[in-house]
Structure 1
Amino acid sequence: MQNLSLEKAIDVLKRASQPVRAVVEVELLQALGLVLAEDYAAAADNPPFDRSSLDGYAFRAESTAGAAADRPAVFTIVGEACAGTFYAEAVPKGAAIRIMTGSAIPKGCNCVVRQEDVTVQGNTLRVPYNLAPYSNYCFAGEDVQKGTLLAKKGTKLTAAHIGVLASQGYDRVKVWRPVRVALASTGDELTAPGQPLAPGQIYDSNLYLLAARLQELGFVPEILGSLPDDVTAAAEVIAGCRDKVDIILTTGGVSVGKRDIMPAVADKVGERLFWRLAMKPGSPALGYKMGSTLGLALSGNPFAAYATFELLAVPLLAYLSGNTQILPHHTTAVLTDAFPKQSKGRRFIRAYHEQGKVRLPEQHSSGSLFSAVGCNAFVEIPPGTGPLQPETEVEIVCLYRKV
């Protein structure tokens, strides 16, 4: 299939794959960003006991009735409770214990007074005002009660989820296996950053761009490196990923030039799903499949690779992972700048979106990446659209940004 719409290409990729729903159990600290495979409920009240919200003294509140600065309530200090310890005896009327923040409040006490507000001489405590029952008092289960649903199946775990699960004693959780992504670039002209450039060579920015973006989105790519402009050699590397990863992403070698090897590689390792999209930039994108592994070959032009990754690969990754949070968001905004070009076909241009306004950078070349720094959206221009003027309302695609 050729010259597919973006939406049709996404549909073809989805139909050729299955969401990753294999269940694995991982250590809690390894679960950040992963998706729960089952519901998790509170196994106990949190806090598990009535506790003090501050450092001070605990006693029976009724004993402070009528207390004032000139006639304080007087208590005998009979003990101390620190966090992590437990004062097991009941505190009698007229007695108090010194207590620290987070400590369990013992029987016989129903309030806590701040230590800054009282006077202590020896084991005598003087409280200069009346306290209501349960002042500075945290009840068992005040945060979470036993049986409360902490996180339901399908939840992408955040740091807060990890903390809540830890507070209930969970040290391992069942999650959907992370989507396995392999990443490579193609081209004899590519040199790894940090190495000297030979004449005619360029640094491999695409590999770093997409690897970093994958990590922003919560995926850990397997880096295959830069593949040579040789069908057999490239096919050997890609075939080695067959059924070991869920998707292989490559950039470059996907058009119709002498060294555009990826169509032939796709034919050698599997079957083509589509080639070329009815959009700019990134029209020569190629989808293919080998076994249970999908392949997606994107343009080697840096911005074209970036755009088709966001518009084509990210929806596929959202489908495979079940994490719909990363999907691009479609809305409208008012253009603040002119776009002077005619758009014969469907076009996406980089933009800065904020509070219903969208601003364009000066550079829009597919080979230019610097002007994409800070961009958080694409303006979608329908086929047959003439130059755009300021104050035009346009359709935009907002990109997921981790916050």
Structure 2
Amino acid sequence: MTLGAPTASPPLSVTEHLDRILGSVTRLPAVTIPIAHALNLTLAEDVHAAVSVPSFDNSAMDGYALRRVDAAAATAETPVAFRVVADLPAGSAENPRLGSGEAARIMTGAAVPDDADCIVPIEDTDQGTQTVLISRAPQAAAHIRREGADVRTGDTVLTAGRVLGPRDLAAAAAVGVSDLSVYPAPRVGVLSTGSELREPGTPLERGQIHDSNSLLLAAMIAEGGGIPIQLGSVPDDNNAFEEILRTHADQVDAFVTSGGVSVGAYDIVKAVLAPLGVWFGPVRMQPGKPQGFGRFPVAGEPTTAATGPAIFALPGNPVSVFVSFEAFVRPALLTMAGRSQIFRYTQRVTTSVGWRSPAGRAQYMPTIVDWDDAGTASIRPATAGGSGSYLVASLAKANALALVPEDVTEVFAGDVLTVTLVS
């Protein structure tokens, strides 16, 4: 086995490493897809109305379409009689002529006859089908939805940069749009490394563990707007690892690996990728100190900053994977997906207990945010083990990450920290 040389890179701050990553990734080229497939994607071009909404004058009520002047004297005591000359359900193309004293029974959404200038709700009638008695004089243009009252042909309905939700798709469909220009979700290959890994549920022998990282990463990629492509796990074998990457390099926009990035004798990720130009080095954070990032060359071409899928080489311990993804991978994938908002919501929250933090490293503490009856938030570590990188079972309790600055070595109850809400 060929081993990678020990890193000589000076430790980077979290901000420096993130800036390098965001300076390398760009949003993916826009594609045009059917509207039904655009949910949660970012709109690349403004959407303009192809038709007005409503596209014709239509009834806002079940009732009777007629000429207002003919019913001006109608009261409950002296109702006015009309002859019903048509029956108009929604979707009818009929446009009956209405003379004096004539009405058309009409359903909600049906096109209003050209000769009618108001709708009398069914509640103000005796609901007749041959003749109808009108018991209240209608107001001008009563209960008519005018053509273009919502939007007119050519109006901008949705603006570029919007993340498309269900209501956006409905709006686009309503104005006659069938296809949308969007930035696609990045396809991300997920690969765990380590000869000790076994599928969840498989009986374990001494020294073996279940592979939770693949599931963790795939779920976080999907939650972050990407499409995870599970590549499984690979043992500590340089050739097997490189073969999987080369097989899938032209099918993905990025790889995310876990494990094999430190200075151990079996750190195959670093051994394979460092000679290809992928950067490896320490980042001043805890957990997640060893990191790697670069581009994987397609078809054996030399790697450059602009070619090949991005590759995020993360540490192997699950909490380190979680923190590293939140700090670096998620913002990068959202950038690739065309999002303008790439960071999670943060707020300043008071700590309810204290804990230690390593000197010279930004600590990401998995925490639980509690709210009292007055709605005031406070935080506490999700586990007594703190930010230990192996505490994957306890990680499920956390709903936030608290950031302890590099120059702080002890947090006291009552301190105020910046907290990233992760659920």
Same fold (TM over 0.5): yes
Residues 311 and 328 in structure 1, CA contact (< 8 A), matched pair in contact too: no
For 1:254 and 1:172, the matched residues in 2 are separated by: 43
Q: How does 1:192-231 map to 2 (within 5 A)?
A: 192-231=199-238
Alignment CA distance shift 1:47-1:180 (3 Å):
same
Residues 338 and 387 in structure 1, CA contact (< 8 A), matched pair in contact too: no
Counterpart pick for 2:314 among 280, 290, 298: 298
AA partner of residue 248 (structure 2): C
Which residue in 2 is equivalent to 1:372?
395
What count of residue pairs does the alignment treat as equivalent?
A: 397
Unpaired segments ≥5 residues, structure 2:
1-8, 298-306
Deviations 1:235-261 (A, max 9, x none): 121233335422110112222233222
Alignment CA distance shift 1:122-1:47 (3 Å):
closer
SS at match of 2:286: coil
SS at match of 2:227: coil
Which residue in 2 is equivalent to 1:288?
294
Which residue in 2 is equivalent to 1:236?
243
AA partner of residue 81 (structure 1): L
Residues 27 and 183 in structure 2, CA contact (< 8 A), matched pair in contact too: no
For 1:150 and 1:274, the matched residues in 2 are separated by: 46
Counterpart pick for 2:40 among 33, 37, 44: 33
Deviates more, 1:170-179 or 1:90-99: 170-179
1:343 aligns with 2:350: no
1:396 aligns with 2:402: no
Q: How does 1:126-137 map to 2 (within 5 A)?
A: 126-137=133-144
Percent identity, please: 30
Which residue in 2 is equivalent to 1:58?
65
How far residue 327 of structure 1 moved from its aligned partner, in angstroms, is: 1.6
For 1:183 and 1:114, the matched residues in 2 are separated by: 61
Deviates more, 1:163-172 or 1:46-55: 163-172
Counterpart pick for 1:142 among 138, 149, 154: 149
For 2:203 and 2:116, the matched residues in 1 are separated by: 74
TM-score by length of 2: 0.87
Deviations 1:70-124 (A, max 9, x none): 2112211110111111222232232111111111111122222332442134511
Unpaired segments ≥5 residues, structure 1:
none
Alignment CA distance shift 1:352-1:47 (3 Å):
farther
Deviations 1:48-69 (A, max 9, x none): 0011122222212333323222
Which residue in 1 is equivalent to 2:23?
15
Residues 295 and 310 in structure 2, CA contact (< 8 A), matched pair in contact too: yes
Q: How does 1:48-127 map to 2 (within 5 A)?
A: 48-127=55-134
AA partner of residue 380 (structure 1): L
AA partner of residue 284 (structure 1): P
For 1:4 and 1:388, the matched residues in 2 are separated by: 23
Which residue in 2 is equivalent to 1:256?
263
Which residue in 1 is equivalent to 2:4?
none
How far residue 198 of structure 1 moved from its aligned partner, in angstroms, is: 3.7
SS at match of 1:383: coil
Instruction: Name the Cα RMSD after superposition.
Output: 2.1
